[in-house]
Amino acid sequence: HYAMSSYETAVEHCRAEIGRLCPDIPFRVIPPFYAHEAYIRALSERIRPYLQTPFDKLILSYHGIPQNHLDRTTRQTLGLHHPDGCCTADDPTASVCYLYQTRQTTTLLRQSLGLREDQIEEAFQSRFGHTEWLQPYLADRLAALPSEGAGRVLITSPSFVCDCLETIEEVAEHGKRIFMQAGGLSYTYIPCLNEDGVWIESLRTILQES
């Protein structure tokens, strides 16, 4: 998923370091693969076994970004104003719109898993500071779900391909505390793709096609 604060920053740092250390080495940048069939297939295969246990909601927790980054990113990158609401596939801003890309992943994953719209939702984690970030905030949703009748949740973080402090501590551990204290019945964290064999083959496909 494209975000200037992560994807673009890493790409530009890599370009600068390669140019400084070994300018003759060729390299290419893989574009965001949020809707690539191989990526969706890997996520689906990771999640599918967990659907065999009764659950009320599958939550896809994406890393949050400040709301104003959407317009700032499109203006700096494309010189365009981000559409009110969000992009559609026909908008040139979709190529750098983090929110549009997370929504696409959620929709494609829901379709791949054969879930109803009310069985899956996305939320955003890792917010800090006092500015408005993308919503809904994960912590708020976890605190509210039990009172909405969703006492059994599955949760995973598609914006991370490998587990890290933010998925293990923030989502798997802290998120569970919030949910269970609010009256939740069961909270199951689904690990990231990590070294999963289907993901490794999917990554090979993405690399070969890019």
H or E element that contains 208: helix 197-209
Q: What is the pLDDT of residues 148-205, one digit of tens each?
A: 999 999 999 999 999 999 999 999 999 999 999 999 999 999 999 999 999 999 999 9
Q: Which domain holds residue 94?
A: 34-209
Q: pLDDT at position 127, please?
A: 84
The mean per-residue pLDDT over the stretch 17-23 comes to: 92
CATH of the domain at 175: 3.40.50.1400
The torsion angles phi and psi of 163, rounded to 5 degrees, stand at: -65, 150
Q: pLDDT at position 42, please?
A: 97
Total domains present in the chain: 1
Does residue 109 form part of some domain? yes
- The answer to whether 187 and 153 have CB atoms below 8 angstroms apart is yes
The mean per-residue pLDDT over the stretch 16-27 comes to: 91
In angstroms, the CA 192 to CA 62 distance is 12
The mean per-residue pLDDT over the stretch 62-74 comes to: 91
Does residue 74 form part of some domain? yes
Does residue 177 form part of some domain? yes
Q: What is the pLDDT of residues 87-135, one digit of tens each?
A: 999 999 999 999 999 999 999 999 999 999 999 999 999 888 788 999 9
Does residue 20 form part of some domain? no
User: Cβ neighbours of residue 81 under 8 Å, at least 6 residues apart?
Assistant: 71, 74, 75
Residue 60's pLDDT band (boundaries 50, 70, 90)? very high
The torsion angles phi and psi of 77, rounded to 5 degrees, stand at: -85, -45
Does residue 22 form part of some domain? no
Does residue 149 form part of some domain? yes
With tokens 């939550």, the residue in question is 59
| Burial call 33-47: b when 16+ CB within 10 Å, e when fewer | bbebebbbbbbbbbb
Name the strands in the sheet holding 186-189, side by side, starting at the edge strand that comes first in the sequence.
120-125, 57-63, 152-156, 186-189
- Type of residue found at 127: R
Does residue 23 form part of some domain? no
In angstroms, the CA 140 to CA 135 distance is 10
pTM greater than 0.85: yes
Does residue 98 form part of some domain? yes
